[in-house]
Structure 1
Amino acid sequence: MADDPIALFDRWLAEAEQSELNDPNAMALATADAGGRPSVRMVLLKGHGPDGFVFYTNRGSRKAEELGANAQASLLFHWKSLRRQVRVTGAVSPVSDAESDAYFASRGRDSQLGAWASDQSRPLDSRAIFEARVEAIRERFDGQDVPRPPFWGGYRVAAEEIEFWQDRAHRLHERRLFTRAGDCWNEGLLFP
């Protein structure tokens, strides 16, 4: 078997980019609070490589609070058109400010403004309040670049396990599990 799981993920993601209509980089992010209560939501993969899988968020959000209390997470990519999924599990750490700055600068202006205006995961009395905040932020940064908010940044899931699941006829699916062993990976199969 002996494939590099990151190279295999690259191939599968490239195929998903050709076949998935919307957001082939969408992934479910599962976290748990300090008491072990789980939570899951969809986020977008914004970078990956041997050092891990990166996403960005408001660092005051529920997911960020949970990662602060329990720095472990699982990701799940599901590409229905390919009948495939990939599960990634590992420790989570913040990405550098420089990496967060670079990604934030690449975002569309409205997305940048929205990051400033949102108290992500906090109660909101009405949509009008949020829209007014966006307009106030738009005026604040009128005619200038929008800097990254100090409360917004990225996280990297350093993969300890990566499982590749491929649908097969009659539910005789193929499951390949890669487990990190230092700088190397061990590979095995799992019963479907």
Structure 2
Amino acid sequence: MTRHHRNIHPSHTAVVARLEEKYAHLGVRFYQGFAGSVPVQAYGRIGRRFFYFRFRGDCASLTIGSPDRRGDAARYKAQRVKALRTLRRKDDSGFFGLYGALRDLRRGTGQEWYPSIPVRYAVINDVTGERYAGCLEQDEAEALFVRLMEDLGPARKQTRVGRHYRLIARGQRSWPMNSSGVIQKPSKRRP
């Protein structure tokens, strides 16, 4: 289990304390208050799961779920292999060059809290009426968080589509055919 550092600005502590008190029965614990602009973000835990609040483009969302540890491990491994290859070749042509490769050797710790396997989700569109709104006052963020908690529903299942079918969707490949020239589309039912 990873320990998380609370990164709550002193101006956010009152709002965070009120929300943690209001949802104490659910075990809400903020690791970051409503910080930033375009997007405004907050994250923490609700019981045994993580939550992520985001407001950008006049749209607020709240996602609750678990991080994808296996996928993260695979991405970190690929990132490390690429960085080692760059350093071995002394290839300084990339965006960050050798500095970026050295940075990529360290295990990334920024996203281990992100709920990439969502269980519950809520979204509110047209919050302020301004199309490009991306800033919130603390009381507005608190009210939005409460509304999103009330609107939470089950998250849609994310289907994993193979590379071949993604290329079909883009129009770069065609559906496979059997020997008699009949198109073979995947069945919609599970075996």
Q: Same fold (TM over 0.5)?
A: no
More strand, by proportion:
1
Larger RCO (alpha carbons 8 Å, 6+ apart): 1
TM-score, normalised via structure 1 length: 0.31
TM-score, normalised via structure 2 length: 0.32
Which of the two has higher C-alpha Rg? 2
